[in-house]
Amino acid sequence: MVDIELKNEDGKIVGYDSNGNKIPIRFGETEHDSVTTEVSHTKQDPVVNVKAWGAKGDGSTNDTQAIRDALSYLKEEGGGRLFFPAGTYVVCENSGPEKTFDLTDKPNLEICGVGYASHIKAKDGVAEGVDAGVVIFHGGENADIHDLRVDGRRSTQGKLSGSSDGGNFVQLGANSTLHNVWSVNSTGDGVETVGDGVSVSDCLFRNNEKRDIHIRGSNTSVNDNLCENCQEGFAIKVGTATTEKGNISTVEITDNVIDNPVTGGISIGQKSAWATDATIVSNRIVDSGGHGIRSETAAKGLEIAGNTVVKSAKDGIHVTVTERSAADCIRPQVTNNTVRDSGNSGIAVSNLTQERVSAAVASPRIKDNDVFGAGQAACRVSNTDDPRIDSNTFEGSQKQGLHVTSSVTLSRVRIRDNDIIDNNQADSSFDGIRTYADNASISALVIRGNEIDSVGEPQHQRGISIWDGAGSYSSVHLRDNTVMNQTEVAYGISESDWYSVVRGNYPSEVVDVRSLTEYEGNKAYHDGSGEMPSGPAFYDVYEKKWTSLVDGTTSI
């Protein structure tokens, strides 16, 4: 039976349980069921108000021990709710304890407050040089943490060193949630997760020393957070600096806003561990001090889609593997992103090593992206087999619109239906589309259906350029491209001995076609010189002459 208290409220009998919760009742007809509840009950988890255990929350009293006592009680009860009413709770000790509140042996806790007004802050002046940073909450499985403000007071601490970087929430365990939390001024991470099945959502992270969100477990979701002014490290990082955790799978990073991270926005992978099925979707990253989004050791299932990246000092989106990678990055999807004003390339997909020693990026799909104002090439693809670069807009880059280069053997390079507008802002030798085989071979190269409108002096660059660099090509197809603002050989397509098919490409400049290189099926707009009328013309491989499309006459 459940003990209930009956009260007369406005002439009605109302029941309350031992926690003060109102419950419905009814009156029976026999002495055995004269008063019963209408709902069944199981044992309820205890609710502990930290002030009931001696915490003051006055902004000056150190409440560390009172909160520890409350946690010890909940441990004995097997879990429950730790509640922080509005107030400022000073915690930590002069020695810089590694674990101010150790939750590793206290599962099934709900730790909550009323929101921003429930303020937990580290004591000022933790001793300089201690062998740990300031750690406020450590561990915790099946924890539900919400509606709190946690402040590590980074700027008021001594210079901390040692094995731990500190952090407001460190090694958050399996099946835990962090939501509607302000985690600020940490001496390390805003939150570090090590367990699987963790969710971090609707939180604000600001001015943290290391990372805002550090993911080291699988099946993790990071959604709808605001990250501001992360001081060192990427604002959101997936992976670990050591290999003891192993590989990570199924990570979702969506709808976050990242503003002014000193090192970078979002990073996937580190050292020999790798991440599979990582999804980075609909995030906004502004003023990154490095790459906006970086993937170093992602394996299969990488999706980078629908993100907006503005003013990254390095690449807007950077996908690669290095000598540390233990698995190939297979078919990464880079789609529907908007990248503006990056310091280097807008999108860069590459294998950084000169030889594919243990891992490689393979079969990337770069599609439907908009890249504006890149400091170098709008899109750069290096040492990457079977890339497909389709239906993108690359506009206003300082150098090439698209640069494909390799020092290893590549095949099946597809470049289709891209709009390249006003590239070569540097007004130098930068082509709209450039491929470069650096002492290697590229086969099955298809450049088709692209529109290229470059700026700068035409003699500086070509619309499409195929360079061999002591390498070689085979099966090169150039079809149905439109190249504007060019007057060089083949109306903006460079001379090469490697072409298999050059057909149906459309220039816009009026030129004397007789000065153009003679490729089968090439088209140009004749200026009326010689015996041919002005107007469209094509090179007839059978007649071995340029032929007018107006009246069929041929040039001399």
| pLDDT tens digit sequence for 42-57 | 446 789 999 999 999 9
Rounded CA-CA distance 364/401 in Å is 18
pLDDT at 457: 57
| pLDDT tens digit sequence for 504-516 | 565 656 777 776 6
Q: Write down the mean pLDDT value for the chain.
A: 80
pLDDT at 19: 61
Q: Which of 47-61, 134-148, 350-364, 445-459 has the highest mean pLDDT?
A: 47-61
pLDDT at 30: 40
pLDDT band, very low/low/confident/very high, at 161 (cuts 50, 70, 90): very low
- Point out the least confidently predicted range of 59-68, 119-128, 203-212, 238-247: 238-247
In degrees and rounded to multiples of 5, residue 443 shows phi and psi of -125, 160
- Point out the least confidently predicted range of 153-157, 199-203, 481-485: 153-157
Residue 225 has pLDDT above 80, yes or no: yes
Buried b (16+ CB within 10 A) or exposed e, 227-241: bbbbbebbbbbbbbe
Q: Which of 23-27, 228-232, 436-440 has the highest mean pLDDT?
A: 228-232
pLDDT at 10: 62
pLDDT at 518: 66
Residue with tokens 């990071």: 222
Rounded CA-CA distance 102/126 in Å is 18
What 8-state DSSP symbol labels residue 546? E
Residue 71 has pLDDT above 50, yes or no: yes
Residue 420 has pLDDT above 70, yes or no: yes
Whole-angstrom CA distances from 282 to 177, 307, 309, 394 are 21, 4, 10, 20
pLDDT at 61: 93
Give the residue, 38 or 481, on which the prediction is more confident.
481
Average pLDDT of span 220-237: 94
- Point out the least confidently predicted range of 127-131, 294-298, 427-431, 496-500: 127-131
Give percent of the chain with pLDDT exceeding 70.
73
User: Which domains, and CATH codes, for the chain?
Assistant: 5-37 (no CATH), 47-210 (2.160.20.10), 517-556 (no CATH)
Rounded CA-CA distance 220/311 in Å is 28
Rounded CA-CA distance 434/447 in Å is 10
pLDDT band, very low/low/confident/very high, at 329 (cuts 50, 70, 90): confident
267's CB contacts (< 8 A; 6+ apart) are: 234, 236, 237, 238, 239, 291, 293, 294, 295, 296
Give the residue, 448 or 495, on which the prediction is more confident.
448
Q: Which residues pair with 178 in a beta bridge?
A: 145, 200
| pLDDT tens digit sequence for 119-157 | 999 887 665 555 455 678 888 889 999 999 999 877 666
User: Could you tell me where the DSSP H helices lie in 78-144?
Assistant: none
pLDDT at 12: 59
Sheet with strand 22-23: strands edge to edge: 5-9, 12-16, 22-23
Average pLDDT of span 334-363: 82
Residue 467 has pLDDT above 50, yes or no: yes
Rounded CA-CA distance 409/305 in Å is 29
Residue 349 has pLDDT above 80, yes or no: yes
pLDDT at 531: 78
Average pLDDT of span 101-109: 85
Q: Helices then strands (H, E): number in the chain? A: 1, 57
pTM comes to 0.81
What 8-state DSSP symbol labels residue 156? G
